[in-house]
Copies of this chain bind each other. A is one copy, B any other.
Amino acid sequence: MSIEEKYKINKEITINDIARELNVSKSTVSRALQDHYSIGEKTKEAVRQLAEKYNYNPNTIAASLFKKSTQTIGVIVPILSHYFFSTVIAGIEDTAYKAGYKVIICQSNESYEREVIVAKTLLSARVDGVIASISRETNDAAHFKIFNTKNIPLVFFDRLPGGIKSASVSVDDQAGAFKVVEHLIRQGHKTIAHFAGPQHITLAQNRLQGYKDALKKYKIPFKKELVYDCGFERQQGIDTAKRLLQQAHLPDAIFAVCDPVAIGTMLALKEQGIRIPEQIAVAGFNDDPTATVIEPALTTVAQPAFEIGQAAANIFLKQIKQSRKKIINEVLQTTLVVRKSG
């Protein structure tokens, strides 16, 4: 029976059918589908054409030949205790479980070393794909390259590493930061400090850039000394606010890199009896649930965390069906949420 006839009958083609049709071995076909270096471009192209024509599911093929699919997605996050990350995970799970995939999660705990270990752990657990956000220590994405080599879908979100070609989902951090700083400027603030995240992390760079863009648009000179090195934790917000309060001239507003830092900043200012926003306005980024608990309620930039998770899982679901993974880089938009703090 020709491949054409078989396809018409049951719509399911085995790797054998492709091999017979092209008069090559089964292992040539599977290696071609895996983009193996040992197979010539011409053969690869022929295999791919047939695979696409007859709607081959290379995952099923790979599963039957090389490994059993575990129907599992591995997720790596830097810190589980951040509402943003647990909400992204909820979004990933929402999409994954509906599609019949299970989700296992590892935490790097903001440690590069731990991230290398958990990446290996997920590989050993034979996950079908990885969705990851890197630790604040991670400069080098070499430990993720094995997933590309093995043709395992890899999707980064939020904190994306440099030096690796991979799918990703992020928000337009630069535009989000621009919006909130523009809002502070329009409220009449002129000396706006920024508590910045680690600058080797793209999102931290982009939020700083958005801050600069807004200043530029409103012709406010950028001053280096108003940018404070900070992290992503509440305690770092408290500590940075205390450093700022030792300065002779205080700013009239602070834009914090994320809500935990903004909350820490507000707690430190309130402790010193500084009125928010009258003396110093404060704005954050994330829209954590704590933003509506603190008084005054926090002005911030809402990120669609659940949707980020769904989008990352959807990219995985597309890639798992592609023998040649299409690199998708999705950028979602943020929303300015004006409350009382600035």
Task: Write 8 A-B pairs (CB below 8 A) sorted by A numbering.
Answer: A70-B124, A80-B105, A81-B86, A102-B118, A104-B106, A105-B105, A234-B289, A290-B290
Q: Is the CB of B89 within 8 A of A107?
A: yes
Copies of this protein in the assembly total: 2
Contact among B70, B103, B293 for A267, CB-based, below 8 A: B293
The residues of B that contact A289 with a CB separation of less than 8 Å are 234, 290
Q: How far is the CA of A182 from the CA of B338 in the complex (A)?
A: 41
The residues of B that contact A199 with a CB separation of less than 8 Å are none
A98 CB, min distance to chain B CBs, angstroms: 12
Q: Is the CB of A80 within 8 A of B86?
A: yes
Judge whether A168 is part of the interface by a CB distance below 8 angstroms.
no
The residues of B that contact A234 with a CB separation of less than 8 Å are 289
Q: How far is the CA of A121 from the CA of B104 in the complex (A)?
A: 8
Q: Is the CB of A103 within 8 A of B106?
A: yes
Which chain B residue lies CB-closest to A122?
B104
List which A228-281 residues lie within 8 A (CB) of chain B: 234, 263, 267
Nearest first, the 10 closest Cβ-Cβ pairs linking A and B are A81-B86, A80-B86, A105-B105, A102-B121, A125-B125, A104-B104, A293-B294, A293-B293, A295-B295, A290-B290
Q: How far is the CA of A92 from the CA of B83 in the complex (A)?
A: 20
Q: How far is the CA of A117 from the CA of B290 in the complex (A)?
A: 32
Apart from A80-B86, A86-B86, A102-B121, list 17 A-B contacts with CB within 8 A. Answer: A80-B90, A81-B90, A90-B109, A93-B109, A97-B117, A102-B106, A104-B106, A104-B121, A104-B125, A105-B106, A105-B107, A125-B125, A234-B289, A267-B292, A289-B290, A294-B294, A295-B295
Judge whether A114 is part of the interface by a CB distance below 8 angstroms.
yes
Which chain B residue lies CB-closest to A82?
B86
A105 CB, min distance to chain B CBs, angstroms: 4
Judge whether A87 is part of the interface by a CB distance below 8 angstroms.
yes
A255 CB, min distance to chain B CBs, angstroms: 19
Judge whether A286 is part of the interface by a CB distance below 8 angstroms.
no
Q: Mark A100-120, 1 if CB is under 8 A from B, else 0.
A: 001111110100001001100
